[in-house]
Chain A
Amino acid sequence: MKSAALKLELVRAVTFHCAHSYRVKSWSDEENLKEFGACFSPTGHGHTYRLEAFVTGPVDEVTGMMINLKDLDKILKEAVSLLDGKFLDKEVGEFLDTVPTTEKISLFLFQRLKSALSQTPARLFRLRLFETNDLWVECSEEI
Chain B
Amino acid sequence: MKCLRTYQFELRGIHSLPSLKEGPHGHHCLLRVQVPGSLDEEEERDFLSFMKSDILKNFDRADWARALAKPPSGENVLQEIFRRLDAFRQNFVFSLELQETKKNLFYLRRAPKKFDA
Interface residues of A in 1-38 (CB under 8 A from B): 1, 3-14
Is there a chain B Cβ closer than 8 Å to A132's Cβ? no
* B71: Cβ under 8 A from any A Cβ: yes
A9's partner among B71, B102, B108 (CB-CB below 8 A) is: B108
The reply to whether A7 and B19 contact each other, CB–CB distance below 8 Å, is no
Main secondary structure on B side of the interface with A: mixed
Kindly state the separation between the CA atoms of A108 and B104 in the bound complex, as whole angstroms: 22
Secondary structure dominating the interface of A: mixed
Nearest chain B CB to A80's CB is how many angstroms away? Answer: 13
Would you list the 7 A-B pairs with minimal beta carbon distance, nearest first? A64-B71, A64-B73, A8-B117, A7-B111, A13-B103, A9-B107, A7-B115
Q: Is the CB of B117 within 8 A of A59?
A: yes
B29 to chain A, nearest CB (A): 13
Q: Does B25 contact A (CB under 8 A)?
A: no
- A135 on the interface (CB 8 Å rule)? no
Q: Is A65 an interface residue (CB 8 A)?
A: yes
Does A64 contact B117, Cβ atoms closer than 8 Å? Answer: no
User: Please, which residues of chain A bring their CB within 8 A of the CB of B76?
Assistant: 59, 64
Is residue A58 contacting chain B, with contact meaning CB distance below 8 A?
A: yes
Quick check: B104 and A8 within 8 Å, CB to CB? no
**Across the interface, do A8 and B72 meet the contact criterion of CB distance under 8 Å?**
no
Question: Quick check: is B110 within 8 A (CB to CB) of the other chain?
Answer: yes
Closest beta carbon of chain A to B94's beta carbon, Å:
11
